[in-house]
Amino acid sequence: MNKLFAVSIFVFFAFASLEAKSTPTQNSAEALKAKHVKEQMEREKKFAKEQKFYQGDEYDFSAEKVDPKDVDSVPEIEPENDFDMTDVYRDDI
């Protein structure tokens, strides 16, 4: 009977220690908060880098300029005006 009592006390304290480890403490809450702040700062850095790309102030696009002489040699494409809209919205079809 004493062995059963001792084992039950041991099991009780074992579960109590597991429960104490699983509950969040002030330090773990602060660590979690610091982790989230760090993640948000990384997102802000990524956003700032992408904004530079979208603004385009720091890029040199002079290699992409087109020579006006080359534009004159491009043939003009005539639009196809053979689409007839007269029967599109007719009710008596």
**pLDDT tens, position by position, 6-61:** 666 766 667 666 555 555 566 787 888 899 999 999 988 888 877 766 666 767 77
- How many Å apart are CA 50 and CA 58, to the nearest integer? 12
Q: Judge whether residue 92 has pLDDT over 60.
A: yes
Q: Which residues contact 24 (CB under 8 A, 6 or more apart)?
A: 32
- How many Å apart are CA 70 and CA 23, to the nearest integer? 72
C-alpha radius of gyration, the chain, whole number: 37
- The answer to whether 48 and 54 have CB atoms below 8 angstroms apart is no
